[in-house]
Amino acid sequence: MDSTIKALHKNVMEWMAGPTGSIVIHASIILALLFLVDLSIKEKDKEIEVKVIEIDEQQLDELLEELKPPEELPEVDTMTPPDVEMDLTPPPEVQDFTATPEMDTVTELDIASDAISPIVMKNLAPGNMKNRTGGGRAASIKAFGGKWGEYAEAAVLRALEWLRINQNQDGSWGTHDKEAMAGLGILTFLAHGETTASEKYGQTVERAIRYLVARQNETGAFCKTDTTAGTYSQAICVYAISEAYGMTRIPSLKSVMEKGVQVIINGQQTGGGYDYKFAKAERRDTSLGGWCCQAMKAAYIAGAENAGLHEAMEKAVGDMKTVQKEDGSFYYSFVGKSHSTHSITAVAVLSMQLLGHGGDAEVRKGLDFLGGADCNWQNPPEWPMYAWYYISQTKFHQGGASWTGWNNQFAPQFIRNQNPDGSWNSAGLALKEGATGRENMHPVYATTLAALTLQVYYRFLPTYQPIETKAIDQTSEDDVKIEIL
């Protein structure tokens, strides 16, 4: 028997070593390799899965109750920065926009009748809008929120409910500066992935968008831009409409966005800066420039086709760089003639981060200066909600220990100081006898900025993606220039 097995083994080995066996073996190997390559190609060509889901209206209420922070929040070790002065001269006196431009025509929203359910997108590449909805939002909160993520999300949900309940019949919020407040309200809902298709908040978002569309005149202005406050409001409205178009693709919003951003492009100074009333004199303003930068970047990403938009963004970066001090901070207006603070520095740094210059030396120096910023509700700077809105975003983009330390400061402060009804009052105003600051007059302003700050874990996309221009080695008149978002 043993000899028979040995003989069989010898015959098999001879066959494998022979021509026929060699051909069979090599053919098998080739087929196996082709199979593996086919699997690899299929994996790379995986398509985006779009799934329409129906949401139980009770789910959000149950989630809200489930995530309600306990009365005693956990203590977290924080990084204590040095005690530094952080004053900020308030933005100019805000005026009532009751007297707005006459509307010759009102653009109707062409909203598809079947857009009644939220859409959950899966398998999107990193850097897309999935961070604002469902699993993407949850993953971002877990990744960047630390111990405060779920508490922050519960606070945001309460704020959204407060905004829904307190929206005016015409779609605006508040009684003053209604265009700007509508813009901030829209941004707050969009940051949470709530669009006109949202089951719970769709009508709220749609009414607010319709309000802004109706306020825009033929020139693209949403309010009187020959006032100091009007320039701020114009930028905020363009920012909101641009994100709304980018996230909903409602066709009629494209022209509203492009007309609005054209006002900002036309209002830019030769050196790239912006001033109140879009004036073209010597003065330029970092605070106003920050809102204009956010508006232009949102319009750019949403697909605005205005000639000169990219050039205007690059010029704005150049303007910001001209007002940096040796210590890394930035001036509010004139070089050497105005103050510089953490707040204003954060405005300049964020503007450059948004416009694709986050790695520039000026940004790095500015971030070093912001290492001394703090978030103390009992001892806040002037216009604290405005200040912390910007500082939180710059720290988030910086990442690392800087972000971790800041998150452990600002998140518990915001969560603990939210009103029971879901709104916020500006930090420190209750401590100041006879306080009359404009933030005190605008609970909508304080609430939207607070919510937007707590949404930093996921809201920064797509607005804050860097801009890169693809290099072309050989050029000719027929070349196509490609810009990658």
Which residues are CB-contacts of 376 (< 8 A; sequence separation ≥ 6)?
413
DSSP string covering 274-304, please?
--GGG--SS---HHHHHHHHHHHHHHHHHT-
Specify whether the backbone of 249 is left (phi greater than 0), alpha (psi in -120 to 50) or beta: left
DSSP string covering 152-206, please?
HHHHHHHHHHHHHHT--TTS--SSSSHHHHHHHHHHHHHHTT--TT-TTTHHHHH
Nearest to 427 by CA among 378, 372, 481: 378
What percentage of the chain reaches a pLDDT higher than 90? 58
Which of 66-70, 161-165, 227-231 comes out lowest in average pLDDT? Answer: 66-70
pLDDT in tens, 211-252: 999 999 999 999 999 888 899 999 999 999 999 999 999 999
297-320: average pLDDT: 96
Evaluated on CA atoms 101, 102, 104, 105, the torsion sign reads positive
Q: What is the pTM of this model?
A: 0.73
Structure tokens at 262: 């054209």
362-382: average pLDDT: 94
What does the pLDDT read at residue 194? 96
62-82: average pLDDT: 44
